[in-house]
Every structure is written in structure tokens, then in C-alpha cells.
């Protein structure tokens, strides 16, 4: 197996080294501004460093892109024009999922294959053991490739862009929870109630995350007005403790938007699908705007 890597940063270096250790031949690494550490790695692997893609990419069976998301589509377009017919392009960037779809269409038109691989952890901590998601018609082949270097990788579908989308969705949840945890635990610490807080939140660990999320969404609409008042009171308590809330004002705005629409257009549904559709309609209009039937 011959691999080429585009992007010589931490991710590119990590996977170049891991693939080489597994027996793959690294036929080149490209980086617009190669750091000295990349040259050192390339010498150890016996592979050249390039500052751009080019005819050398035609030697690779698989081209892995690990550049910044903003440059991902441009890099993919250029690389696909240099790769041999039937070769596989693997996009490990944080590009817009729509750019992944466009790049996949370009790959198909030029006789290549495209798979997007989303990184869902910290490569600087876990290296090649970092969890990954992959999507595309050749996702099974790519999963096998990454498993050969010990990477935990999950196939999430045949549509390129789905892995990137799921990573972003995961970030909405995890980064939002992280921010709320900061506000919650700092306030608890200031109040001297951190250990007790963990005790009273122990029930959160007892059920499934999916059931809990869907329950919250299903009950959110009917109880949004009352819960908004709780959020407002929580902010008052934070300020009394000397902590300026940043996340909770946005939380209050969401509850207020729901309560405003609920007052104009009472929710009658019972299922998670009905609740999500009602909330999608609510999110499509400014808070306080007249609701449409």
C-alpha cells in the first residue's frame, strides 16, 4: 500500500508515522510551509517533503488530506487532478460537510473515490488511537486501513460529509455541556457545594443518554415558560455568588423563544418526531415573531 499525505502538521505527522510503522510505503508528504520537525520525520521514513501537490501523487494508492478545513476543498480539487485513476482520497480535515459532498462529486467525475474521516478526540493526546468516524462508499476499506494502525474507527454511512456532520453535532453537545459544566461547577465551588452537587446529579448517570435527551426535548415545549424562570433565577444566584453567567443567558433565550411560540401555537404532539418538527419551525423565526400555523 502506497500512501501520500497532504498536511504536515500534528495530524499529518502522527498518521504518517503510524502508517509507516504498519508497513505502508509513504511516497511523499506535502506542506505549504514544512516545519523542521516534518523534515526530520520524512528523513526517518525515507520519504520526500513537497510544498505542494503534483505529479508525485500519482504514485499513491491512497492520498490522505490533513490540512485546515478552510483549505480542504481547494486541496482536494488540486490533488484529484494529479492522482491516478481509481485512487482513494481520504479527507481528515474539519471542512464544511457540503464541501465534502462537492469534493466527492469531483472525485466521482474524475474516476476517483472519496471518503471523509472525522477526528473526534485529541490527536495530541491519543495519537493514532484517537477515535474516528468515516463515511463514503469505500468507508469499509478505509476503516480496515485505519484499524491496521490501531485506530478505533466507526463507519457512519455511505454519504461523504456525514462523518464531518456528526462530528459537528457531537461538538454542539460536548462543547455545550463543557461550557455549562464550567458555569455549574464554578458556582458550586463558590457556594461550597461541589461534592453535594455531584450527589444530587447522580440520577443523570442511571439512564441512557438517548432516552434522557429525547425526554428533555419532548417535555421542553410544554414546560418552557416555567423552566425559563428557573434559568433566570439560576443566573441571579450566580451573580450573587460573584460569577458572571455567559452560557445561561443564551439558554434563557432559547426557553423564551419556545415559550413565546407555545403561547401562540400550543403544541399538541406526543412523539420526539413531532416535538423536533415543532422546534424546527420555532427556530426558523425570530423570537417574538408571530407564529405561523
Check which CATH number belongs to the domain holding 10 and give it.
3.40.50.720
The answer to the question of residue 97 being in a domain is: yes
Same domain, 231 and 156: no
* pLDDT, position 66: 96
Flag whether 292 is in a domain. Answer: no
Measured at the alpha carbon of residue 231, what is the angle toward residues 227 and 234, in degrees to the nearest 5? 135
Q: Are residues 245 and 155 in the same domain?
A: no
Confidence of residue 291 (pLDDT cuts 50, 70, 90): very low
Beta bridge mates, 2: 25
My answer on whether 154 and 172 are in the same domain is no
pLDDT digits (tens, 9 = 90+) for 156-174: 999 999 999 999 999 999 9
86 has a pLDDT exceeding 80: yes
Distance, CA of 20 to CA of 31 (rounded, Å): 18
What range does the domain containing 224 cover? 166-283
Same domain, 48 and 188: no
Q: Are 181 and 255 found together in one domain?
A: yes
Residue 81 CB neighbours (<10 A): 12
Q: Among the residues of 46-161, which ranges form H helices?
A: 72-80, 97-109, 123-126, 139-147
What SS3 state is found at 65?
strand
- 41 located within any domain: yes
**For 177, what's the count of Cα atoms within 13 Å in the CB-facing half-sphere?**
8
CA distances from 201 to 28, 161, 185, 194, 216 (A): 52, 36, 12, 11, 15
Over residues 98-115, mean pLDDT: 95
Same domain, 171 and 138: no
| Residues 132, 232 share a domain | no
The answer as to whether 91 is a domain residue is yes
Amino acid at each position: 500500500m502506497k500512501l501520500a499525505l497532504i498536511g504536515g502538521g500534528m495530524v499529518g505527522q502522527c498518521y504518517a508515522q503510524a502508517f509507516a510503522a504498519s508497513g505502508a510505503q509513504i511516497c511523499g508528504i506535502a506542506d505549504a510551509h514544512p516545519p523542521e520537525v516534518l523534515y526530520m520525520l520524512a528523513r526517518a521514513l525515507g520519504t520526500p517533503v513537497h510544498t505542494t501537490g503534483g505529479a508525485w501523487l500519482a504514485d499513491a494508492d491512497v492520498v490522505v488530506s490533513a490540512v485546515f478545513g478552510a483549505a480542504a476543498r481547494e486541496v482536494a480539487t488540486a490533488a484529484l487532478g494529479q492522482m491516478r485513476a481509481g485512487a482513494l482520497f481520504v479527507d481528515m480535515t474539519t471542512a464544511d460537510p457540503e464541501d465534502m459532498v462537492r469534493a466527492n462529486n469531483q472525485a466521482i467525475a474524475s474516476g476517483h473515490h472519496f471518503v471523509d474521516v472525522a477526528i473526534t478526540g485529541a490527536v495530541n493526546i491519543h495519537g493514532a488511537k484517537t477515535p474516528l468516524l468515516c463515511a463514503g462508499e469505500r468507508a469499509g476499506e478505509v476503516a480496515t486501513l485505519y484499524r491496521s494502525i490501531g485506530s478505533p474507527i466507526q463507519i457512519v454511512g455511505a454519504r461523504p460529509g456525514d462523518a464531518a456532520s456528526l462530528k459537528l453535532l457531537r461538538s454542539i453537545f460536548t462543547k455545550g455541556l463543557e461550557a455549562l459544566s464550567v458555569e455549574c461547577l464554578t458556582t458550586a465551588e463558590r457556594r461550597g457545594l461541589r461534592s453535594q452537587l455531584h450527589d444530587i446529579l447522580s440520577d443523570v448517570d442511571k439512564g441512557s443518554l438517548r432516552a434522557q435527551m429525547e425526554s428533555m426535548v419532548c417535555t421542553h415545549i410544554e414546560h418552557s415558560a416555567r423552566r425559563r424562570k428557573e434559568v433566570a433565577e439560576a443566573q441571579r444566584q450566580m451573580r450573587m455568588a460573584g460569577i458572571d453567567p455567559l452560557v445561561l443567558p443564551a439558554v434563557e433565550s432559547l426557553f423564551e423563544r419556545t415559550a413565546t411560540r407555545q403561547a401562540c401555537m400550543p403544541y399538541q404532539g406526543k412523539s420526539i418526531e413531532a416535538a423536533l418538527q415543532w422546534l424546527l419551525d420555532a427556530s426558523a423565526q425570530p423570537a417574538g415573531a408571530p407564529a405561523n400555523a
